[in-house]
Amino acid sequence: MPLTEEATRHHDVAVTLDGMGVDYGKVEARIRAKDPKVGPRDIYWATLNQKLLAVLRVGDWGSVARILEAQVDELVERGKPFLAVAQEASKAELRRLNHAGVTEVRIIPYPSHSGPCSACVANRDRVFSIEAEIVSPTLPHQTCVDAASGPCDCWYAAIV
């Protein structure tokens, strides 16, 4: 018997969160005990937030970035504004690099099916201070953000 779209999504969510070290089933049971009509997307969002708070407490910036990126994906899928969360994901990644001793980064344009975004190509030879980027991240560029597909996939590379 084929799975319904919601059941398939529920399974995919559980697998994603298991990979992040989150017990989706436990969170789902707690939330459904309060409101059995809550959908899997809302449980997913609540679980991401719970995990985000846990990794923020210990300063695990790499995990913070990955969770925020998962939230960006969810916001894009729901057709909701995502730029602020995408910028926070960039800041978390920069903090991770900074804690590893990196002080400068470059932008690496991602070669998408339509080619790399022009804003990232224009900046690829620039050197950026991590401290300045944490305050005001260049990525994602507002000019290469698409409401339907999300921010561009360009990234920061450490200069060592």
Average pLDDT over residues 118-146: 86
pLDDT-derived band at 3 (thresholds 50, 70, 90) equals very low
Specify the long-range contacts of residues 85-88, CB closer than 8 Å, at least 24 apart. Answer: 86/140, 86/145, 86/150, 86/151, 87/137, 87/140
Out of 72-86, 103-117, 134-148, the most confident range is 72-86
Q: pTM to 2 decimals?
A: 0.79
pLDDT-derived band at 67 (thresholds 50, 70, 90) equals very high
pLDDT-derived band at 124 (thresholds 50, 70, 90) equals confident
Q: How far apart are CA 34 and CA 147, in angstroms?
A: 34
